Amino acid sequence: MIPWWVLAVLVVGANFTLWGSVGAVRLVESLVRRAGERVPQRAVGPGAASKSGMRVLRSEERAPGGGAKSVDVGDVAVLIAAHNERVVIQDSIRSVLRLVPPKNVHVVSDGSSDHTYKLARRAGAKVIRTRKNVGKAGALQEAIERFRLVDRFRVVMLLDADTKVDANYFASALPMFDDARVVAVAGCVQTAWRRRGLSLMGKLLACHRERIYALTQYLLKFGQTWSRFNATHIVPGFASLYRTEVLPHIEMNPPGLVIEDFNMTFEVYQKKLGKVGFTPSAVAVTQDPDNLRDYVRQTRRWALGLWQTVRRHPPRANLFTLMLTLLLLELLTSSFLILLVPVILVALTVPQLLVGVPGMSGLHAFMAAHFSLGSLMFGVLLPDIVLTCGVALFQRRPRFLLFGAFFLALRVLDSVLSLQALARAWSLSTGRWRSPGRRAIGTGKM
């Protein structure tokens, strides 16, 4: 009989335990240094200061021995790649225009057949368009060249067309470039789950995504991006920052990949271009799919992008490869186990359904010999509930508890999509995209 705690480790993941512990050490170190050092926050733009008007500048964020002039918003080019985003493009541009000068905001309309180009210009951005739909990576690459962003700016922000940037984003993110080793900064994603008009399914999917975001960012990414142990598998493309000096060394649009952000992150580490920074206070709010069809399409696309990027980059003897290997092994084992849970439940609770089927009696005997309802309860269901309660408490959002019973079913769906993507990873993709259904972002509090 497999002990319940073994199931818990396989389902919850040793990676969460490992990097969560590293993150806790990073947090303690940061708190200790904050107690001894408090410096005035530099102004980075209207609305960007914290409520106290002060910000702690951690030692790990400073350039060793001083260094070049600190990056401010005037040094940042904002680049939005958009394909048929007429519903949301103006609100996204307006949100970032509160923080950066209008001349810094650039949009590339990638083969849009709607009014994306016209609306982006009307909102105050510099806009170009591609001759055909070349995909997000291709559109970004073309825009960087045509706008000459590498020559004109020190940092480029890659921003999705459905994303609203929090007022404190740049105040939190830009100081991380004071460390000369940091070449990219990952934003902290939140989902716009409070949007009006969401169906019950839409609210469930949004809460499921928000739970995933909270767990992966606070229990994985925060520890993985500590300067002492720096190795994370993705700088998400929804709201990320890159030093422009490294962009010529990154192959942004290699053939055969469906998305770009995994590949760009892998390139940073495998080419030893520098480190990735992350702070939970650099928040941007994005829209996630509010219907099952768009959710499946997007999740499958992300999973395929990961496996295609793994296929493209051979393993090397470094910390990044070690981190990635552990992550992928855990992803595979947890996906297989999650998929087995419904079968195990049927075998244990309604055995006659399997025993009566030719060739299934052996499967029933195997399940009954290795699993019990108690082990599933304490090893799978209870840990999932604990994670949900932890996120609800940390985020101060009791709504997570209302949908908690359905998250495990969505994890089964995620596992199916991840394993399907692995099987398709050796096929080539064009990178061309179709945006999921959008709703007006609105001006509510984020």
Q: How far apart are CA 58 and CA 29, in angstroms?
A: 10
CA nearest neighbour of 5 among 382, 343, 412: 382
1-35+55-446 classified as CATH 3.90.550.10: yes
Confidence of residue 6 (pLDDT cuts 50, 70, 90): confident
H-helix or E-strand containing 430?
none
- Which residue matches tokens 């990576």? 137
Give first-to-last CA distance, the chain, whole Å: 48
Confidence of residue 437 (pLDDT cuts 50, 70, 90): low
Confidence of residue 365 (pLDDT cuts 50, 70, 90): confident
Amino acid at 411: R
Average pLDDT over residues 154-178: 96
Q: Where are the domains of the chain?
A: 1-35+55-446
Range ranked top by mean pLDDT from 30-34, 132-136, 184-188:
184-188
Long-range CB contacts (< 8 A, 24+ apart) of 209-215? 209/288, 210/391, 210/395, 210/397, 210/400, 211/387, 211/388, 211/391, 211/400, 211/407, 213/189, 214/391, 214/394, 214/395, 215/16, 215/387, 215/391
Average pLDDT over residues 220-224: 96
Confidence of residue 355 (pLDDT cuts 50, 70, 90): low
Average pLDDT over residues 340-368: 75
Structure tokens at 112: 């849009």
Least confident of 51-55, 115-119, 177-181, 441-445: 51-55
Instruction: Classify residue 125 by its DSSP letter.
Output: -
Q: How far apart are CA 281 and CA 76, in angstroms?
A: 18
Average pLDDT over residues 347-352: 76
Confidence of residue 65 (pLDDT cuts 50, 70, 90): very low
pLDDT at position 33 is 87
Q: Are 177 and 71 in contact (CB under 8 A)?
A: yes
Q: What is the pTM (predicted TM-score) of this model?
A: 0.87
Structure tokens at 136: 């997000």
Structure tokens at 423: 């099987």
Q: How far apart are CA 51 and CA 168, in angstroms?
A: 10
Contacts of 145 (CB under 8 A, 6+ apart): none
pLDDT at position 4 is 84
